[in-house]
Chain A
Amino acid sequence: FSSEMQLVQVLQKLFDDYVKTTSSKLKIIDAYMFYILLTGIVQFVYCVLVGTFPFNAFLAGFISTVASFILASCLRMQVNEENKDEFNGISPERAFADFLFAHAVLHLVVVNFLG
């Protein structure tokens, strides 16, 4: 019982800490990631309810959300000032350009796979 209370407290503290310490640039990316997560959940729930036919369409849509989420998290990592010495040679602009290139390839494949 008390561990539950502690869990709620810790999560509350985590959220406050997050709001205070992360820069607005990262918060925008996080909001975008949360939106992608919602679309992914919606697709998955739909698949569970209605069935997997046509499977390729489900996979295309679901992997599209997963990949967009992953690419956004990679962008967040590369844009974050704390990781600057790890990603040497990749400025935030270059990171965004890479992000766009990966998305272009991703969406071409998704559209091909949708059928």
Chain B
Amino acid sequence: VKLGKTTRKEKFLLLLTLAGACCLAFIIRLFSVLRFETMIHEYDPYFNYRSTEMMVENGFFPFHNWFDAKSWYPLGRGVGSSVYPGLMWTAGSIYHFLRAFQFKVDVRQVCVFIGPLFSAFSVLATYALTWECSKGNNGAALFASVFIALVPGYISRSVAGSYDNESIAIFCMILTFALWLRAVRTGSMAAATTAALAYLYMVSSWGGYIFVTNLIPLHMLGLILTRRFTHRAYVAYSTYYVIGTLLSMQISFVNFKPTESADHMPALGIFGLIQLITFYNYLKDKVTSEGLRTIIGCSLLGSVGLVVVGATLTGKIGALSGRLAFLFSTKGAIPIIASVAEHQPTSWAHYYYDLHILMLLFPLGVYRCFTDLHEGTLFAMMYGVTTLYFTGIMVRIVLVLAPAACVLGGLALSGHYYAFLPNLSAPDEKEAAAIEKKKDRKKAGVDGSYPFKSELAAVAVFIPVLVVCSFVSHSIYMAREHYSDPTIVLRAGNGKLYDDFREAYKWISENTEENAKVLSWWDYGYHLSSMANRTVYVDGNTWNNTHISRVGQILASDEKTSYEMMRELDVNYVLVIFGGKVGYPGDDINKFIWMIRIAGSTPTGAHISQKQYMTKYGEYRVDSKAPKKMRNSLMYKLCYHGFGALMTHPRAPLGYDLSQNQEVGDKHITLEHLEEAYTTENWIVRVYRVKPPANKFSG
């Protein structure tokens, strides 16, 4: 591909297209704001929202020293040292910045729109990244930036209302990669330092920073192995590694991990390796004798190796952390990591939904990288292939794959256009023969002639336009139907809205004591903390598996045993989610089997096994065929209390569970130690009060 200098007209078109892509990226993510309201979606964003509120109210340092006593009762949680603060910093800065100009925005509105805003920034960052990857190919960069504006895999986590780490982390990641490639290309220390600063931003925003920490050393290794290790690469990586690692340790959550955990060791290893290689290259010119040179080299290597082995043996460097170990082998995974829906392998349908035509352009892009291999294309290829491999294990990695697919798709499509566009006005056969006779074949620039050149070129130029149009309409469909769901407000098939969650949380915040403690499954912990403002036992941070297992044991045991355990933990209220009346498929009865597995995964719950809760044929049922243990469990009783008298469907018997599609087994459930406090309109959220123990010797 031959590239000339961009003219002023081209630069203007470029700017216009980029601005259009940014606007498109912003607008396509606003469906949920139009349909519902500016509210925060899902589960984790509520924790981030509560933290941002706390930071904006109390200030920067009180937030970093915050110990939250109202979650994980009675343990509490040190939020300042267990959170990635980048998201809160960003939202807080934007909030204060707008307020300084007297735009009286609310924190919630800033939080809701951060996703779309940073998607617009990602468009610009992807342009920069692809420009670096392709050594100045504006066409490829433009294609890639339009793809990233629309690709559904990215929309899923950056939609308006999805106030989660990924919404800014993807931008930070693409920016870090673009600045890293710029550092490798120019070999300047200032460029490497800016890459390190972008790396700091990335580390502060998401736990997935470990991917950046390992991909950049992998890229260096790739450069070494393909004989492209130049002085520029040495300057770029050394400066980036030292300054970047020191910067990353400033984040409290990361602390000393770069010196201790095995996840960070490849970066250190490659750093040492390039020092040795550079020293060896320096010696190569000065020392003539081959043998002595190798002696010096080997002695150095040996001493380094001893240090590494010694450090590993003495336990200074730990094993791979839980989630990363899961990425390499799912065999030893504890149930709580295996249970998360996002940690399941990706299906082919999911690839199609999230990437659409980029699935086709991905291999073509990799091929183009091979034909024009340099530092940038090597990086694009490595980025794409590594993320593609890991999506085979966890579906949430598709979010990280999406930018790589856009970059490679941009390279592929631009290569296609550079091949066919010049042929549009290709001379026909007679003129071509005349030209060939007069000049050299090479000078004419035609790469072999075949009949109907310009007609074929016209078809070849037009078909991708249709394909990209279908991509656009697919993205709009995905954004509208699948990814703009706030999860906390349910939308039934007939268009009815069920706002039961917020109804229940509001009831709890208004009708219970200030220091009431609510027990529920960990999915709802963040909601309860943020909206109901009550103390919870377990929440979405899932840092303490034993505590979650204890909650699981409470919900899985019969009422008497559970009551003992609840008195131990001083529980005041229990909250369950029940979808039987409306057919909500994500209720607690559906999750119950996972609660049982997690309950049985610690020593105190070892007597609980999932076989006891299923029929003798291994079926999971809630009707009269369900075993006694299932029907006596606290979860079953709390969900179906009073349900036996309810008619859910005109043609079904009373007490027909619409989400399990079975008639409930026990129609007259009585509770001894709990009483019903509140059930929402559609029976989705049910709150029970734990009664104090009965007086002894009562008559």
- Inter-chain contact A6/B193, CB cutoff 8 Å: no
- Inter-chain contact B239/A71, CB cutoff 8 Å: yes
Query: How far does the alpha carbon of A17 sit from the alpha carbon of B246 in the complex, in Å?
Result: 37
- Inter-chain contact B246/A101, CB cutoff 8 Å: no
- Inter-chain contact A106/B243, CB cutoff 8 Å: yes
- Write out the residue numbers on chain B whose beta carbons fall within 8 Å of the beta carbon of A14: 283, 286-287
- Write out the residue numbers on chain A whose beta carbons fall within 8 Å of the beta carbon of B609: none
B187 within 8 A of A: yes
Query: How far does the alpha carbon of A75 sit from the alpha carbon of B243 in the complex, in Å?
Result: 15
- Inter-chain contact A73/B238, CB cutoff 8 Å: yes
CB distance from B275 to the nearest CB of A (A): 8
- Inter-chain contact B188/A94, CB cutoff 8 Å: yes
CB < 8 Å neighbour of A71 from B189, B197, B249, B295 = B189
- Inter-chain contact B242/A87, CB cutoff 8 Å: no
- Inter-chain contact B189/A102, CB cutoff 8 Å: yes
CB distance from B292 to the nearest CB of A (A): 5
Q: Mark A13-27, 1 if CB is under 8 A from B, else 0.
A: 010011000000000
Segment at the interface with A among B35-43, B116-124, B226-234: B226-234
- Inter-chain contact A7/B242, CB cutoff 8 Å: no
A10 within 8 A of B: yes
B289 within 8 A of A: yes
Query: How far does the alpha carbon of A34 sit from the alpha carbon of B129 in the complex, in Å?
Result: 38
CB distance from B553 to the nearest CB of A (A): 38
- Write out the residue numbers on chain B whose beta carbons fall within 8 Å of the beta carbon of A113: 246, 249-250
- Inter-chain contact A10/B289, CB cutoff 8 Å: yes
- Write out the residue numbers on chain B whose beta carbons fall within 8 Å of the beta carbon of A10: 287, 289, 292
Query: How far does the alpha carbon of A89 sit from the alpha carbon of B186 in the complex, in Å?
Result: 8
B660 within 8 A of A: no
CB < 8 Å neighbour of A70 from B188, B239, B295, B296 = B239
* Chain B residue at minimum C-beta to C-beta distance from A96: B189
Q: Mark A89-115, 1 if CB is under 8 A from B, else 0.
A: 110001101110110011001101100
B298 within 8 A of A: no
- Inter-chain contact A77/B235, CB cutoff 8 Å: yes
How many interface residues does chain B have, given as a range? Answer: 20 to 34
Query: How far does the alpha carbon of A83 sit from the alpha carbon of B295 in the complex, in Å?
Result: 27
- Inter-chain contact A101/B190, CB cutoff 8 Å: yes
Which B218-260 residues sit within 8 Å CB-CB of chain A? 230-232, 234-235, 238-239, 242-243, 245-247, 249-250, 256, 259
- Write out the residue numbers on chain B whose beta carbons fall within 8 Å of the beta carbon of A6: 289, 292
CB distance from A49 to the nearest CB of B (A): 17
- Inter-chain contact B242/A63, CB cutoff 8 Å: yes
Query: How far does the alpha carbon of A50 sit from the alpha carbon of B189 in the complex, in Å?
Result: 35
CB < 8 Å neighbour of A86 from B187, B242, B246, B283 = B187
- A74 and B235 in contact, given A59-B249, A63-B245, A110-B246 (Cβ under 8 angstroms): yes
B159 within 8 A of A: no
- Inter-chain contact A17/B242, CB cutoff 8 Å: no
Which A61-84 residues sit within 8 Å CB-CB of chain B? 63, 66-67, 70-71, 73-75, 77-78, 83
CB distance from A48 to the nearest CB of B (A): 12
- Inter-chain contact A87/B193, CB cutoff 8 Å: no
CB distance from A96 to the nearest CB of B (A): 10
- Inter-chain contact B295/A3, CB cutoff 8 Å: yes
A32 within 8 A of B: no
CB distance from A17 to the nearest CB of B (A): 6
B114 within 8 A of A: no
Output the residue of A3, A106, A109 with the most chain B CB within 10 A. Answer: A109
CB < 8 Å neighbour of B246 from A71, A83, A98, A106 = A106
B196 within 8 A of A: yes
Query: How far does the alpha carbon of A101 sit from the alpha carbon of B194 in the complex, in Å?
Result: 10
Query: How far does the alpha carbon of A109 sit from the alpha carbon of B242 in the complex, in Å?
Result: 11
Query: How far does the alpha carbon of A78 sit from the alpha carbon of B232 in the complex, in Å?
Result: 9
CB distance from B203 to the nearest CB of A (A): 13
CB distance from A42 to the nearest CB of B (A): 19
A55 within 8 A of B: yes
- Write out the residue numbers on chain B whose beta carbons fall within 8 Å of the beta carbon of A106: 242-243, 246
B576 within 8 A of A: no
Query: How far does the alpha carbon of A14 sit from the alpha carbon of B242 in the complex, in Å?
Result: 29
Query: How far does the alpha carbon of A99 sit from the alpha carbon of B238 in the complex, in Å?
Result: 13
CB distance from A58 to the nearest CB of B (A): 10
Q: Mark B585-608, 1 if CB is under 8 A from A, else 0.
A: 000000000000000000000000
- Write out the residue numbers on chain B whose beta carbons fall within 8 Å of the beta carbon of A78: 187, 189, 235
CB < 8 Å neighbour of A95 from B189, B196, B286 = B189
* Chain A residue at minimum C-beta to C-beta distance from B292: A10
B192 within 8 A of A: yes
* Chain A residue at minimum C-beta to C-beta distance from B200: A109
Query: How far does the alpha carbon of A73 sit from the alpha carbon of B235 in the complex, in Å?
Result: 8
- Write out the residue numbers on chain B whose beta carbons fall within 8 Å of the beta carbon of A102: 189-190, 192-193, 239, 243
- Inter-chain contact A98/B256, CB cutoff 8 Å: no
Query: How far does the alpha carbon of A60 sit from the alpha carbon of B295 in the complex, in Å?
Result: 34
CB < 8 Å neighbour of B188 from A56, A67, A98, A112 = A98
Query: How far does the alpha carbon of A82 sit from the alpha carbon of B191 in the complex, in Å?
Result: 22
- Inter-chain contact A86/B231, CB cutoff 8 Å: yes
- Inter-chain contact B189/A109, CB cutoff 8 Å: no
Query: How far does the alpha carbon of A55 sit from the alpha carbon of B256 in the complex, in Å?
Result: 8
CB distance from B271 to the nearest CB of A (A): 9
- Write out the residue numbers on chain A whose beta carbons fall within 8 Å of the beta carbon of B283: 14
CB distance from B601 to the nearest CB of A (A): 34
- Inter-chain contact A59/B256, CB cutoff 8 Å: yes
Q: Mark B534-553, 1 if CB is under 8 A from A, else 0.
A: 00000000000000000000
- Inter-chain contact A90/B246, CB cutoff 8 Å: no
Query: How far does the alpha carbon of A86 sit from the alpha carbon of B190 in the complex, in Å?
Result: 17
- Inter-chain contact A98/B189, CB cutoff 8 Å: yes
Query: How far does the alpha carbon of A83 sit from the alpha carbon of B230 in the complex, in Å?
Result: 10
- Inter-chain contact A67/B242, CB cutoff 8 Å: yes
Q: Mark B285-303, 1 if CB is under 8 A from A, else 0.
A: 0110100100110000000
Query: How far does the alpha carbon of A88 sit from the alpha carbon of B192 in the complex, in Å?
Result: 16
- CB-defined A-B contacts under 8 Å, sample of 19: A6-B292, A7-B292, A14-B286, A63-B245, A63-B246, A70-B242, A86-B232, A89-B186, A90-B188, A95-B188, A98-B189, A98-B193, A101-B189, A101-B193, A102-B239, A102-B243, A105-B193, A105-B197, A113-B246
Nearest first, the 10 closest Cβ-Cβ pairs linking A and B are A98-B189, A98-B190, A67-B242, A74-B235, A70-B238, A102-B193, A102-B189, A101-B190, A10-B292, A63-B246
B residues neighboring A (CB under 8 Å): 186-193, 196-197, 230-232, 234-235, 238-239, 242-243, 245-247, 249-250, 256, 259, 283, 286-287, 289, 292, 295-296
A residues neighboring B (CB under 8 Å): 3, 6-7, 10, 14, 17-18, 55-56, 59-60, 63, 66-67, 70-71, 73-75, 77-78, 83, 86-87, 89-90, 94-95, 97-99, 101-102, 105-106, 109-110, 112-113
Beyond the given pairs A3-B295, A70-B242, 14 more chain A to chain B contacts, judged by CB atoms under 8 angstroms and listed by A's residue number, are A14-B283, A55-B256, A63-B242, A63-B246, A67-B246, A74-B189, A86-B230, A95-B189, A98-B190, A98-B193, A106-B243, A109-B246, A113-B249, A113-B250
